[in-house]
Structure 1
Amino acid sequence: MSNDEVWRQAVEWLIACKVLEQHNILTAAEAEAKDLAFALRDGVVLCNLAHKLYNRSLDYTKICKKTTMSQFYCIENIKLFLNACVKIFNMKPEHLFEPEELYNFTNFSKVLNVLSRISHSEICKRFDIEPFPKTYRCNSAFIHDNEEEVYRKLVDEADKDYDDENKIYDVKPQKIEEEDVEGSNVDQIYDSLFCHKNLNDEIYTSKYDKWKLFVPKEQKDHVIKEILDTEIHFTNEVLANIINYFYLPLRNDLTPEEHSKVFSNMADIQKLHAGFLVELEKAVYLTTGIEKKKTLDFQRKRIGDVFVDFKFQFLKHYKVYIINSMNSREFLSILETSRSDIREKIKEYSKKSRTPQFRLQDLLCIPAQRIMKYHLLLKDLLKKINFNDVLERESIEKSIEASEDINEYLNEAKRDFENRIELKKIYDSIYDMEFGDKMDFIDYGRQVKDGEVKFADSKESGKLKNRHVFVFDKIMLVCKAQRYNTFTYKTCYLLSNYKVIDDLEPQGKMNTLSRKFNTTSVLSFYLVINKQNTNFKSEESNDQNLNSSTNYIQICCKTLNQREQWMKAIIQAQENVCPKKAAENGHSVEYTTFKDIVVCSFCDKFLKGLYYQGYKCECCEHIFHKECLMNNRKCPGKPKSFTNNNAAFARRQTFSGSLGEIVTAITTTTSPDPHVLNFKELDKIEVVEIKNDGLFVGRLVNKPNQMGLVHPNTVKKCKIMPSNISRASSLQISNFNTNSVHRRQVSQPILNGRKQSTNIEMVAHEFYKEIWYVGTIDREKARDKLINCEEGTFLVRWSNNQKKYVISLKTEDHVKHMIVENISRNVVCLCNSRVFGNLKELIEFYKINSLSECFTGLYTTLKTPLLKTKLYRVKQNFDREHCPEFDFTDSRFLSMSRGDIVTLVDLIGEEKYWWMGEINGRVGFFPIQYVSEILDDNIKDDDEEETESDEGTFSILYFYRYNLVMVFDNNIATDTDSTNADISNKNFDVNNSSNIKVEEDSKVDYVKASLNEGNNDDSANEKEASVENNGKILERGITGIVRWFNVKMGYGFIKRNDTDNDIFVYYKSISKKNPNKRLRSLATDEEVVFDVIDGRRGNEAGNVTGPNGEPVKGSHIDSRFKKNSKKFPYFRKKFNMPNKERDPNQKILEENVYGEIIFFNFRRGFGFIKREDNGESVFCHILDIIKKNPRKFRYLAFGSSVRFDIVKGLKGYEAAYVTNKDGTPISGIKKRKRRQNNVIPSTDSEKKNEKEMILKKKNKRSRRSRRGRNGKKEIEEQTNETQNLSKKGDMSSVVSNDNGEVSNNNVSVGDKVPQQRSDISLVSEAFENLNL
């Protein structure tokens, strides 16, 4: 036996099994063993072999036939074959080879061993095929040692990939007929149904009497007759048979979902062909002369015109049908196998049908075959038409082009559908992915290449590591290979951020890095940052020290041929997304997925496929194939438009909205670019930042953590109260007498030489928070409010008559009313000489600039806004006795007594919630929270106020940095914007009380009665939770799953079921705790129901209960914590750990963000920071604070300004690397004594006294500790003495009382024995006296 005899016998056996073609390179004399190895490498031949020998051995639809030598798909095919070997051929696992052993040629002899075992199996013997080798014995090796050496050398050949021109790719697997796959030959069924001889006379009803008598005279008439006959038979026989005998009867036997999966849109297909047949008949009758022409010859509809007219309808319906039919036959087979009743019903209906010899699965394939045959019939017709008949030939040529275009589209759609399934396999095989659960690899384009390489990133260690790399059109995915063709996700790169280079240039700063890389081999190539790409900022571009010499990706291949293939694949992927030829022609194209069927602007053919079909130019708005884009001329630029539609005009402009504005999405946007915001139609988006390129940064209102770039064409203004505003006939300002001031004419907006209608959408009450806006009042009421005011006093109101904003101004002797005109979206003005972005900007401008530029003779400004009222009643004393923190000798403070009437003088200090007022000639500042409005001059006396007051009285006051905290009766109230104050350690001794009614427009927010947040125990009863939840309820009855909950810290996060976002939950928000648990807690993965409230920490969960209002389950670990939580010191060591070092692998979403501390709880170890740019609250953990002194504890003072980065952590978006605003570390704090009455010492004497008190406390604790240790020894002596007396039996002389006094004959009465105290109790007592 020669060295190659075994593998040659294997080739002959595979040819005999009809899985390899008879004549190929493997049968040539110069063939080698490696040729067979490459032929089997992709697994397709092996899968065909198993299917040929036993057609149910594997799922043939799962075979990936177009592997393009993709390692992943090759191994998947080999795994299918090996599973069939175990299940069907009863082979033991130890006899099989590993998929990698075949792909890498590491054990090819074992592959031949498996094939030999199959050839000797009982299943194979039924085919009467001679096995190989003839002298095979299962228990002995059939390959000699000298042959084994040949197969070992194949390992070196595996790395030498063959070029495309190599003859090895001529070795193609034998095509498996569809009868082998589905059980019947679809082509044979089609031919039997549409054979011209079988088209009997039954199809010709009285309607077709003329056609029945038609006798073809010319060659083209025979083809025309075949076209119409087959169409009549298909519509009236095949489709009617399916509809009448299967589609309609099975409606009663199948559910609507099952019926739709089996038949898809079969009814629409039948209606489509019925209409097509009518038009085809007319054209055929006119062409053949059966009917006389009623129009000129060049005006009549020809046969080819009918096909062209139905082009879009065919594609629309058959696209849905063919995609669904790929699974319909398999689903129908499963139904027949699993449900005997359905199987019997189908057999019954089949016997009644006109084609009982065919199965329903076979008939469902006929429509797809029919649409694919049209171009063949038309080509035959074109051959028979005379060359002189130019019009007819032109018509048929167009119809052939249309039919082929449809076929190409449907075939590409089918391939994309199969590709989606294959990409799903890749997605499922990769673990630890950072992408969202709903993210699909389709969003990143088509797969270009994958395989194992050596990979290194210079930003990391720079060391080459074995990695499996997947290259898609948009990204490069790097994974670590695991067993069984699975992978662990490592990282990914956006390919458009990089460019491919052969080698690094050893120049300048590159020398060190170049030497490091160039020492590997010449088999590497590199990806470097592409600085010319300015479409978006990459993750790497955010690094401060970024330069061209520091960021490289090195990919090292096994051979030079592999290196060229990988470089070509990556360049091809980049070219797919952004073709260079497009930029050269001036096009700014985007790789686009079109939901609808579209045609190319250059060739008028369909853009084929289901996703990323082609490109759309943002400048000229044309759509192209990639090939057409290469051959296209220069971009003509934006198309001219003569429409007078404001909406169209707005789409061509840059974004004209304002910061903080809420817009509505008009379409769904999904982008793989992490910098682009993904949203759905009708989502509300807040404008966070406006870019110079016309885009803006938006944040989802219902998902505040999600931010990104938004294109203005995808959103529109929120339509709260739209109205079509037409300009008033008179453009003058009239007043209550004969005097008038004329407005300078405001010109109509003009676009492209035509006047533009002012279809403006306005919101009547969007400025209700402004002090100068009084709401909707009429002209006379505004005049009455201003007539007695000083000159320059003004108000802004909404006019229901004009449907516009009106500024009412008190002039020297009259009240003027000025209408605010809107000339376009977000453009307002009083005259055409100056325009503004919104009403607020207009008011601020004319506060300091004269109105004379708009109104002749009006030389004044908007000086003072008319307040809703200038009189306020004092609700609580504000004097030296009740507020000793303030120095009332300072004239800046206005002392007030309960019941006083304050006249508002100025709004200065309103940002700190202080106003300037006047009482009996005394003028000074007072806190806003101390007074209430008196509207309509309805001044009541003190007795009336006592009886009507719903707010209660103040029992405790506390000022923290001029932010007021009040206790009404027994409830705490604090200003809405001041709820951020760190009042967690302010202990008010307040009893339970009834709920307090708060008006809707009140500026105070009622919070819990007890502010001692340190006790997460059973003492926090149901009223605590209800008070904690007293914030404004935004949403009710939301369900979610608890992601995690820290029992000791008392907080956690809940994942909402509706939005998949996380929401913060505090332990006191749990309304119904488990009565069997000590603490308020939540169990991980527990299902809860809660409300979303606007609490102290922003949006958080409130009123948390179990399903249906039941108590929550609670954490299983809360039994570890005792009721008295004070026994656990809150100065834990982990809070005093060294500062975190920056993790280079951590993805920083935003850098150098500035904000203000609105809440910080040292005991719990977390807080919230309010961003300066958008006002959003960001979670901050105590360990993310960078402190200066390692001996001090981390702490963030309320109101202090900090700088931080934003990262995505376990709790969502949170702050990291928190420092002072100037970047210096936080100073930190030491342990300090809890102050009495929560009064912060202000003077030096108070601070000195406080230090003395702390020192005394320390000495006292030290003495107490020593007494405890000495007392322990005394107790031991007394115990020993007592035991000695008991042994003597003389216990009558021993006396002990409850106070620990022991007396006997030898001990004097009154000697007190100290009780033993544990170290834990001593430490607990010590920490009870400490407070920040």
Structure 2
Amino acid sequence: DLYKVLHTLSKLSNSPKMQRRGTLGFSIHKPRTLSQEDIYRNLSAAGGEEASCAVPEDCVEYAHYDTHIRNEEIYQDLCSIDKQYSPSIAVPTAISHSFEKRDYVITELVETEKNYIDVLNTLLRCFIRPLSSILKEDDVKIIFGGIKELYEIHVGFYDQLRKALPPGSGYRLSEAFLNWREKFLTYGDYCANLAIAQARIQEISSRNDNIYAKLTRCQQEANNGKFKLRDILSVPMQRILKYHLLLEKLLSETQPGHEDYRGLERAREAMVDVAQYINEVKRDSDTLQIMADIQASITDWEGIEDTKLTSFGRLLKDGDLRIRSHDNQKIRQRYVFIFDKVMLMCKTLRNDQYSFKCCLPLSDYKIEDISSRRTLHKNTSWHYQFFLVRKSERTAFTLYARTEEIKRKWIKAIQDALDNIEPAGCRSTDHKFVLHTFEKPTLCMHCSKFLKGRIFQGYRCEKCDIAAHKLCIANSGRCGAKMPPELPPRPPLAARQEPEINGHQPVPPRPISGVSPDLNRVWPDHTALAEYLWFVGEMGRERASRLLETQLDGTYLLRIRPQGATHPNETVYALSLKADDKVKHMKVYEKEMGGEPHFYLSESRFFRSLVELINCYEHTSLVENFHGLDVRLRWPFRRIIAIADFDFNPVEANQLPLKQGCQVIILSKEGDHKGWWKGMIQDRVGFFPKVYVREVSDTLNCLHDLQ
């Protein structure tokens, strides 16, 4: 039974005696099904087809799968809500019908976050503090680098998660993820360094008995010796790669009409983006090590002695080719490296060493595959040829491969490099994009996702400095155009519609205290109301009817009655509304309550200001005041026209998309204090960032036109 043999060897390899000898242990588990996404992909296979760097694929897959199984078991043991603890929020022993599945998913998210913080705190308390006294400073940095920072990040993240739990708290669960996503990029360095940290633990504990004994005591204090330090260090990587899965589960239990549904979709996309960023940093860290090894293996540098290979881009392919320069017609055996920017030609020496011969900037060359037929040559094993031709001069190289398939792979690698130097998308824009290494995490100007990796993560325009993914270049717009300003906080939430009962809207409750300061103001004069698009100043009933009868149903205005108040409790104000193809006029009344004047249309509801009254009936039916008038105030009579200076792609259901140059009718500036206005394009209404548009002099129904 091969499994039993491997299982026994696994136990022996992890015994204290073998560990002290410096032998790296391994684990073996029976195959099992995992509900994990392929985000945990095999990064080691990123080297592609290069024989010099290749690892047998089956060995890599089995080793990676086995390690993942072990790490998953450790994570579940330390972070699962099934572990014994006193929950900080109520957790049911079983999901009853009264306890929604969605609530349970949120509980799982918050409680596993709390458990994860405990794991980080354990690393700080039980390992870093006691071991810092006997380990070298460099060893502490390598083994525990980033743990303190991760602890501080997740304490803050957990605090925001908890604030979003109470209904009506004003916080959204999705905002916690969106607000902390950039901080989570710290995991890129942590995960890239994880294998090095684990190897360093193995190395120093195997050669120093005192450190080994101290480490054993720390592990005993942390979890009764159940898990080794190197095992616990894998938990942060497991946690950060769980968030998009937890959000996926939460979305599946959330109704599409939920106010945070779109926000949760954005949060999930953001966490997938973070996970991909981390994996690319890890992959590039491995790539950089490979490139450092290649650089160290090449001697006789001439002309580029001080140049690092990383400045040439990523390694796309390497291997043997025969090359004939058309200058001297002599065929030479060369070992070739294809990077994003250059082709490096070397002579193979002994012991995996190379002698530098030539460096060709690929931007100066093009590929010509004249014929796929075999070339007559005395060495019949190298007869598949293609040309690398210099664009500006009549010089070229003929490159010979062993087989047609190998030749095709070389041609593809060079074509990929040429496309990386000058992407096809550049033909759709006047930007001058160049492949660029960004020193800090950078967002793509088009898709707002991170450029990923450590080197040459994306493209930067040399003229206007914007950054973009390769696939986003075609949508980058005109160069030199102003960049859109940063988006303000989310717009006001759309009022939730009350359910209909027998075809009628239920009468809503009376307003409660705690409304915003703007809505609490009582206007002592009429000029202060002029900033609102629904206020038209003094206007008689007949004129208001004439103006509104040509407007859409739902158009309204607030006017000052020329005759003033004629009865007790009346004000000088009247509300005029186009509804059912007729114009309705409603007097506004005033009543003193608690020593303060309150406005009302009927005694079903009172308001501290006219602004509060209008705002309420923009979202609530007037049927509570007038039988049969089951309509809302929809369109203010005065409408300002604006032109969009930038494109705006909505991320919430109540937002209005903008295209540069389009005309927008501004309906309301109710979200002005947050940076949003409400507008209409054709028959679509929604909020948009006010800094994305400019008002034009032509307006619909201006105040001065109504005098």
TM-score by length of 1: 0.32
3-state SS of 2:53 partner: helix
**In the alignment, is residue 473 of structure 1 matched against residue 340 of structure 2?**
yes
CA distance in 2 between partners of 1:224 and 1:263 (Å): 30
* Aligned match of 1:593: 437
1:567 aligns with 2:411: yes
Q: In the alignment, which residue of structure 1 is the partner of 2:456?
A: 612
Match of 1:226 in 2: 108
Aligned residue-pair number: 449
Please report how far the alpha carbon of residue 224 of structure 1 lies from its aligned counterpart in structure 2 after TM superposition. Answer: 0.7
Alignment of structure 1 residues 674-1073 onto 2, 5 Å: none
Which residue in 2 is equivalent to 1:217? 99
Bigger Cα displacement from structure 2, 378-387 vs 65-74: 65-74
> Which residue number corresponds to residue 432 of structure 1?
300
Deviation at 1:177, TM superposition (A): 4.5
Other-structure match for 1:602: 446
- Residue in 1 that maps onto 2:85: 200
2:445–2:476 CA contact under 8 A, matched in 1: no
Distance 2:381 2:274 in 1: 52
Provide the rounded CA distance (Å) in 2 between the counterparts of 1:64 and 1:367.
Answer: 20
1:349 and 2:231 correspond: no
For the pair 1:623 / 2:464, whether they are aligned, the reply is: no
Matched, 1:256 2:100: no
Query: Which aligned pairs between 1:372-391 and structure 2 lie closer than 5 A?
Result: 372-389=241-258, 391=259
Match of 2:357 among 465, 469, 490: 490
Query: Quick check: 1:322–1:410 contact (8 Å CA) kept in 2?
Result: yes
Q: Does the aligned pair in 2 maintain the 1:432–1:488 contact within 8 Å?
A: yes
Q: Structure 1: any 5+ residue segments left out of the alignment?
A: 1-11, 19-53, 79-170, 287-292, 295-299, 505-513, 532-547, 643-1332
For residues 470-497 of structure 1, give each alpha carbon's deviation from its aligned partner in whole angstroms, at most 9, with x where no partner exists: 1111111111223333322211111111
Post-superposition Cα deviations, 1:434-454, rounded to whole Å, max 9, x if no partner, equal 366653211111111111111
Q: Which residue of 1 aligns with 2:260?
A: 392
Alpha carbons of structure 1 residues 209 and 395: separation in structure 2 relative to 1, 3 Å: closer
Instruction: Give the conservation status (yes or no) of the 8 Å contact 1:501–1:528.
Output: yes
CA distance in structure 2 between the partners assigned to 1:178 and 1:355 by the alignment: 28
* Identical pairs, percent: 27
SS of 2:52 mapped into structure 1: helix
Distance 1:198 1:436, change over 3 A: same
1:13–1:469: structure 2 CA closer, same or farther, 3 Å change rule?
farther
Gaps of 5+ in 2: 8-21, 27-41, 486-707
> Partner residue of 1:189?
74
**CA 1:212 to 1:277, structure 2 compared with 1: closer, same or farther past 3 Å?**
farther
- Residue matched to 1:370: 239
Is the CA contact (8 Å cut-off) linking 1:55 and 1:180 kept in structure 2?
no
Structure-1 residue corresponding to 2:285? 417
Shift of 1:342: 1.0
TM-score of the two chains, using structure 2 as the length reference: 0.58
DSSP-derived class of the 1:248 partner: helix
When residues 180 and 638 of structure 1 are mapped into structure 2, their CA distance, relative to the original with a 3 A threshold, is closer
Taking structure 1 as reference, are residues 635 and 613 closer, same or farther at Cα in structure 2, changes over 3 Å only? Answer: same
**2:381–2:402 CA contact under 8 A, matched in 1:** no
Residue type of the partner of 1:528?
A: V
Deviation for aligned residue 1:191 = 1.0
The structural deviation recorded for 1:217 is 1.6
1:636 paired with 2:518, answer no
Mapped to 2, the partners of 1:365 and 1:254 lie a distance apart of 21
- The 1:66/1:624 distance shift into structure 2, 3 A limit, reads closer
The verdict on how the C-alpha distance between 1:487 and 1:602 changes in structure 2, with shifts beyond 3 A counting, is same
Separation in 2, partners of 1:274, 1:179: 31
Return the letter of the residue paired with 2:355.
Answer: T
In the other structure, the counterpart of 1:305 is 175
* In 1: Cα distance, 2:428 partner to 2:89 partner: 62
Decide whether the 8 Å contact of 1:619 with 1:638 is kept in 2.
no
Structure of higher CA gyration radius: 1
SS of 2:82 mapped into structure 1: helix
Q: How much has 1:502 moved relative to structure 2?
A: 2.1
Structure 1: how far apart are the matches of 2:90 and 2:377?
87
Deviations 1:27-84, CA, capped at 9 Å, x for gaps: xxxxxxxxxxxxxxxxxxxxxxxxxxx98599xxx9954442212214xx59xxxxxx
Question: Which amino acid in 1 is paired with 2:110?
Answer: L
Q: Does 1:322 align with 2:183?
A: no
The structure-2 alpha-carbon separation of the partners of 1:556 and 1:437, relative to structure 1 and needing over 3 Å to count, comes to: closer
The 1:494–1:627 alpha-carbon spacing in structure 2 relative to 1, beyond 3 Å, is same
Per-residue deviation, 1:181: 6.0
C-alpha distance in 2 between matches for 1:464 and 1:227: 64
Indicate conservation of the 8 Å contact 2:241/2:275, yes or no: yes
1:515 deviation in Å? Answer: 13
1:175 aligns with 2:61: yes
Is residue 280 of structure 1 aligned with residue 124 of structure 2? Answer: no
Superposed CA RMSD: 3.6
Higher mean C-alpha displacement, 379-388 vs 583-592 = 583-592
Q: Tell me by how many angstroms 1:17 deviates.
A: 8.2
Q: 1: distance between equivalents of 2:212 and 2:304?
A: 42
Q: Are the structure 2 counterparts of residues 565 and 428 from structure 1 closer, same or farther at C-alpha, using a change threshold of 3 Å?
A: same
Letter in 2 for 1:469: V
- Please give the alpha-carbon distance, in whole angstroms, between the structure 2 residues aligned to 1:501 and 1:13: 53
The AA in structure 1 aligned to 2:218 is Y
Report the 3-state secondary structure (helix = DSSP H, G, I; strand = E; otherwise coil) of the residue aligned with 1:587.
Answer: coil
Deviations 1:857-901 (A, max 9, x none): xxxxxxxxxxxxxxxxxxxxxxxxxxxxxxxxxxxxxxxxxxxxx
Partner of 1:789: none
Alpha-carbon offset, residue 369 of structure 1: 0.9
CA distance, structure 2, for counterparts of residue 429 and residue 245 of structure 1: 43
CA contact (8 A) 1:179 1:186 kept: no
Give the drift of 1:276: 0.8
Counterparts in 2 of 1:376 and 1:482: CA distance versus 1, 3 Å: same
* Cα pair 1:448 1:473 within 8 Å, conserved: yes
Partner of 2:612: none
2-structure distance, mates of 1:363, 1:13:
29
Letter in 1 for 2:435: Y
Higher relative contact order (CA 8 A, sep 6+): 2
Structure 2 counterpart SS, 1:621: coil
- What is the Cα deviation at residue 173 of structure 1? 4.7
CA drift of 1:356 comes to: 2.9
Q: Hey, what does 1:728 align to over in structure 2?
A: none
**Match of 2:33?**
none
Structure 2 matches for 1:104-119, cutoff 5 A? Answer: none
**Structure-2 residue corresponding to 1:1310:** none
Residue 527 in 1 paired to residue 409 in 2? no
Q: Contact 2:383 / 2:402 at 8 angstroms: preserved in 1?
A: no
Q: Distance in 1 between matches of 2:196 and 2:320?
A: 33
Q: Distance in 2 between matches of 1:407 and 1:186?
A: 17
- Is the 1:199–1:229 contact (alpha carbons within 8 Å) kept by the matching residues of 2? no
Matches within 5 A, 1:1238-1253: none
Relative to 1, partners in 2 of residues 1:335 and 1:219: Cα closer, same or farther, differing over 3 Å? same
Question: Compared with structure 1, are the counterparts of its residues 187 and 57 closer, same or farther at alpha carbon in structure 2 (3 Å cutoff)?
Answer: closer
Q: Residues 641 and 277 (structure 1 numbering): CA distance in 2 closer, same or farther, change over 3 Å? A: closer
Q: Once the 2 structures are TM-superposed, how far is the Cα of residue 178 of structure 1 from its aligned partner?
A: 5.8
AA at the equivalent of 1:227: L
Instruction: Go from structure 1 to structure 2 and tell me whether the alpha carbon gap of 1:562 and 1:253 turns closer, same or farther (over 3 Å shift).
Output: same
Give yes or no for contact 1:220–1:384 (8 Å, CA) kept in 2.
yes
Report the alpha carbon displacement of residue 618 of structure 1 after superposing the two structures with TM: 2.0
Report whether the alignment pairs 1:238 with 2:129. no
- Partner residue, 1:458: 326
Cα 1:607–1:256 change in 2 (3 A) is same
Distance 1:575 1:304, change over 3 A: same
Q: Write the distance in 1 (CA, Å) between the matches of 2:135 and 2:417.
A: 46
